[in-house]
Amino acid sequence: MQPRAAAGNTGECMAEEAAIIARVIASPLDVDAAAWNGLLACQSHPTPFLRHEYLAALHESGSATPRTGWAPRFMTLWEDDILVAACPLYLKNHSYGEYVFDWAWASAYEQHGVPYYPKAVIAVPFTPVPGARLLARDEATRALLLQAVCQWCEEENVSSVHMLFASDDDIAAGTQQELMLRRTVQFHWTNEAPRTLDVDTGTDTGSQARRYTSFDDFLSTLAQDKRKKIRQERRRVADAGVRFRWSRGTGISEADWDFFYRCYERTYLEHGNPPYLTRDFFARMAAHLPQAWLLFIAERDGRPIASSLIAISVDASIASAPKDLKNASPLAAYGRYWGALERVDCLHFEACYYQPLQWCIEHGVQRFEGGAQGEHKMARALLPVQATSAHWLAHPAFADAVERFLARESEGVQHYLDELQERSPFRKTGPLTPTGA
């Protein structure tokens, strides 16, 4: 099916077979929440960040709006009155809040007198978490959705389309339509102990993958220097009189949300920038998507001094509505935001890694995504993984230049990954590590 491009910001286009209608919608509030979340639940890699409640909160709170440079143009495909595909498409006049950096591309356009902005992104604002971006009922509809986006942008004189931190299914659709791929590196922890050999019995205790039974069990799989360093860092925080408590979902009080926001805001202000997200955004999360959040608060002498906020993802098959999240077992946790009002040595590591990892182990969470940047995460067993984005540029000459650039960059990323793979934090005593060693 070949859609004819829509004209205007809220226009329609139809496939040749006249069965699928594409509509561009200028506000997430104009998309039915149940239909959107139903599509998300059918994807292979859903996250809470693409739920309608999350995107609507970004819009209604003033965090991601035309005023802040995020103009929604959500692309939707309809069969009669049924939503069969959709994606969060934004027109942008800057490149902030994306975490896939294209400032050099924009500069090259400017130097040659060619406008780079507005550009379009298929993305979750301010959220570099891999996951579904093209919500579709099947592979063919997903391809048609991406085709409709690119065609609409071409007719609207939008310079480019950038699908950021996309799922494997989305990247397959992008590859099929010859979008250019760009790879970055993130660091994720998996709740799976390496294979081990029982010293007493000589049996392979890791022939079946197993989860960690405790934080100490996790530490026992690390190299001695890594294990020692983590224990030292945790001891420094404890010796400073810092204790942690956590709350999830509706158990997070308004006072705790207020305190968290003070910490979050300070982190940005200390770097000379205003925070991307408003306090009202988090109020809307507390009201409409509470069970997707886990909050750690550090206290000393009975006073809160720091906090870290973790997002929680659950089985999409039971997560079609917020009420279904209440008793669901989390599949993944995502490190998102942190801040401190007092300085304590190693407090960042405890709040952002050790406390969340310990919680994940105790609650059977399959993985913890620590995000991009920071090889220091490897020492804490967050291992490197590739995150992929796909790009379409309307200008042929610039598309050729960017394609050559991405080929060189991709080689560098692969060399970087190969180097990181050789620096495993786990014990290295052969393919099977004796548990008593």
Mark whether 17 and 164 lie in a shared domain. Answer: yes
Residue 434 lies in a domain: no
Confirm whether pTM is higher than 0.75: yes
- Predicted local distance difference test score (pLDDT) of residue 176: 96
Q: Residue by residue, what is the 3-state secondary structure of 342-396?
A: CCCCCHHHHHHHHHHHHHHHHCCCCEEEEEECCHHHHHHCCEEEEEEEEEEECCH
Q: Which of 165-169, 334-338, 375-379 has the lowest mean pLDDT?
A: 375-379
- Predicted local distance difference test score (pLDDT) of residue 375: 79
Residue 426 lies in a domain: no
Alpha helices in 221-328 (DSSP H): 224-239, 254-270, 279-288
- Predicted local distance difference test score (pLDDT) of residue 374: 74
Mark whether 18 and 150 lie in a shared domain. Answer: yes
Q: Mean of the pLDDT values across residues 310-329?
A: 60
Residue 272 lies in a domain: yes
- Predicted local distance difference test score (pLDDT) of residue 201: 54
Residue 423 lies in a domain: no
Tabulate helix, strand, coil % of the chain (nearest 5).
Answer: 40, 25, 35
Residue 198 lies in a domain: no
Mark whether 98 and 227 lie in a shared domain. Answer: no
**d(Cα 329, Cα 363) in Å, to the nearest integer?**
8
- Predicted local distance difference test score (pLDDT) of residue 3: 43
259 vs 2, residue with greater confidence: 259
Q: What is the pLDDT of residues 87-125, one digit of tens each?
A: 999 999 999 999 999 999 999 999 999 999 999 999 999
Mark whether 266 and 136 lie in a shared domain. Answer: no
Contacts of 178 (CB under 8 A, 6+ apart): none
- Predicted local distance difference test score (pLDDT) of residue 376: 87
Q: What is the pLDDT of residues 383-394, one digit of tens each?
A: 999 999 999 999
**d(Cα 383, Cα 426) in Å, to the nearest integer?**
10
Domain boundary among 365, 390, 424: 365
| Residue pair 22/148 in contact by the 8 Å Cβ criterion | yes
Query: What domain count does the chain have?
Result: 2
Residue 267 lies in a domain: yes
Which two structure tokens, joined as six digits, stand for 357? 């990892």
325 vs 270, residue with greater confidence: 270
Domain boundary among 146, 178, 210: 178
Confidence band, pLDDT 50/70/90 cuts, at residue 351: very high
Decide if pLDDT at 234 tops 90.
yes
Q: What's the CATH code of the domain at 229?
A: 3.40.630.30
- Predicted local distance difference test score (pLDDT) of residue 207: 52
- Predicted local distance difference test score (pLDDT) of residue 209: 75
Mark whether 314 and 228 lie in a shared domain. Answer: yes
DSSP label at residue 427: -
Decide if pLDDT at 155 tops 90.
yes
- Nearest CA to 356 out of 131, 124, 191 is that of 191
| Residue pair 188/369 in contact by the 8 Å Cβ criterion | yes
Say how far residue 18 (Cα) sits from the centre of its chain. Answer: 36
Mark whether 75 and 161 lie in a shared domain. Answer: yes
Mark whether 165 and 26 lie in a shared domain. Answer: yes
Residue 346 lies in a domain: yes
Decide if pLDDT at 151 tops 60.
yes
Mark whether 23 and 162 lie in a shared domain. Answer: yes
Q: Residues 139-166, buried b or exposed e (16+ Cβ, 10 A)?
A: eebbbbbbbbbbbbbeebebbbbbbbbb
Confidence band, pLDDT 50/70/90 cuts, at residue 310: very high
Confidence band, pLDDT 50/70/90 cuts, at residue 203: low
Burial class (CB in 10 A: 0-12, 13-18, 19+), 34: exposed
**d(Cα 232, Cα 226) in Å, to the nearest integer?**
10
Domain boundary among 365, 396, 423: 365
Confidence band, pLDDT 50/70/90 cuts, at residue 319: very low
| Residue pair 39/85 in contact by the 8 Å Cβ criterion | yes
244 vs 429, residue with greater confidence: 244
Mark whether 167 and 232 lie in a shared domain. Answer: no
- Predicted local distance difference test score (pLDDT) of residue 430: 41
Q: What is the pLDDT of residues 37-62, one digit of tens each?
A: 999 999 999 999 999 999 999 999 99
Q: Mean of the pLDDT values across residues 78-87?
A: 97
430 vs 353, residue with greater confidence: 353
What domain range includes position 45? 12-178
- Nearest CA to 184 out of 4, 430, 25, 420 is that of 420
- Predicted local distance difference test score (pLDDT) of residue 436: 37
Decide if pLDDT at 312 tops 90.
yes
Mark whether 268 and 121 lie in a shared domain. Answer: no
Mark whether 167 and 307 lie in a shared domain. Answer: no
DSSP E strands: which ranges in 168-214? 180-190, 196-197
- Predicted local distance difference test score (pLDDT) of residue 433: 43
What is the overall mean pLDDT for the chain? 90
Mark whether 162 and 74 lie in a shared domain. Answer: yes
